[in-house]
């Protein structure tokens, strides 16, 4: 090539289509939502070409709680893109958990009637309440006392409500009446059946009364120990502790089957349970 002054310039031109591109430089930065641009330059002829740099997409940080959900109102949370160009928000569903206050007794239990307690959710606008039964307290009986002028009857008085209970004592048995393997256990699981000061046995007609001077005690054995009492014309067992009395029909016991199945009739305070072979048969108690 010759310019107007007569100077000659020499260039080596690549063959057609054979550019020598450099590594390119970023001429427009990609963002989360827009493509960027990388520009390449031919080192031989100075031509340029471009390539798109794919948009980065959003990259979010951790969620931040803006408002906690309650049992009556949704909450909210947000998270920000780490490059600062977007924010996501989401609702937090209404909570299924209530924040309850203290229990308040709304009906006091008595010796024979159940009571009731209630608590309410403390969140403003929530009207949910929970109600639970309180078990009847059971009578707190005194010891049996002979009726004055009638040696065939005894009575006892509840120290709480002054209720009076009578029973006939026309026939008393000794401890041999239930020498079939039954045991009476005190709270420490010691057998106290033979202790006449702690356990009183009385057979009146076809009923065997077992009275224990503890709040917690258990009558234990196997089913045949109970059903075997029928050979002595006993059809009902009444197990009494200081705050609870359970009546058990031996015909109901016989219907349970296997004679060697262990059982426990347990009193704890005013609560009674009757477990046979690991199954709960408390419904048989009266």
pLDDT for 176: 42
pTM of the model as a whole: 0.44
pLDDT for 132: 95
Written as tens digits, the pLDDT of the chain (286 aa) is 445 555 554 545 555 668 999 999 999 999 999 999 999 999 989 999 999 999 999 999 999 999 999 999 999 999 999 988 899 999 999 998 999 999 999 999 998 899 999 999 999 889 999 999 999 888 888 888 888 887 777 888 999 999 998 877 654 444 444 546 788 999 888 888 877 778 888 888 888 899 999 999 999 999 988 988 888 788 899 999 999 999 999 989 988 876 789 999 999 999 999 999 999 999 999 8
Residue 280's DSSP bridge partners are: 275
177 token code pair: 């009446």
How far is 178 from 220, CA to CA, in rounded Å?
A: 12
pLDDT for 21: 93
Contact status, residue 263 vs residue 223, Cβ threshold 8 Å: yes
């Amino acid at each position: 090539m010759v310019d107007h002054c007569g100077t000659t310039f020499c260039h080596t031109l690549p063959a057609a289509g054979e550019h020598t591109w450099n590594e390119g430089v970023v001429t427009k930065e990609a963002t989360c939502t827009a493509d960027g641009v990388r520009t390449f330059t031919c080192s031989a002829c100075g031509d340029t070409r471009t390539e798109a740099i794919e948009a980065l997409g959003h990259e979010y940080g951790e969620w931040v709680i803006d408002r906690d959900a309650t049992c009556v109102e949704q909450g909210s949370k947000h998270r920000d893109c780490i490059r600062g160009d977007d924010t996501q928000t989401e609702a937090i569903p209404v909570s299924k958990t209530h924040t309850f206050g203290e229990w308040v007794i709304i009906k006091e239990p008595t010796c024979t009637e159940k009571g009731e307690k209630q608590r309410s959710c403390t969140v403003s606008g929530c009207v949910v309440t929970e109600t639970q039964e309180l078990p009847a307290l059971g009578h707190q009986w005194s010891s049996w006392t002979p009726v004055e002028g009638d040696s065939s009857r005894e009575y006892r008085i509840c120290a709480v409500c002054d209720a009076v209970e009578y029973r006939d004592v026309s026939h008393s048995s000794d401890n041999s009446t239930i020498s079939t393997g039954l045991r009476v256990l005190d709270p420490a699981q010691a057998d106290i059946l033979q202790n006449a000061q702690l356990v009183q046995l009385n057979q009146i007609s076809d009923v065997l009364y077992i009275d224990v001077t503890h709040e917690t005690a258990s009558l234990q054995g196997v089913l045949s120990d109970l059903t075997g009492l029928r050979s002595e014309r006993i059809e009902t067992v009444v197990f009494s502790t200081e705050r609870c009395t359970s009546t058990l029909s031996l015909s109901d016991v016989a219907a349970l089957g296997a004679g060697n199945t262990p059982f426990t009739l347990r009193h704890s305070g005013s609560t009674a349970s009757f477990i046979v072979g690991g199954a709960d048969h408390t419904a048989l108690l009266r």
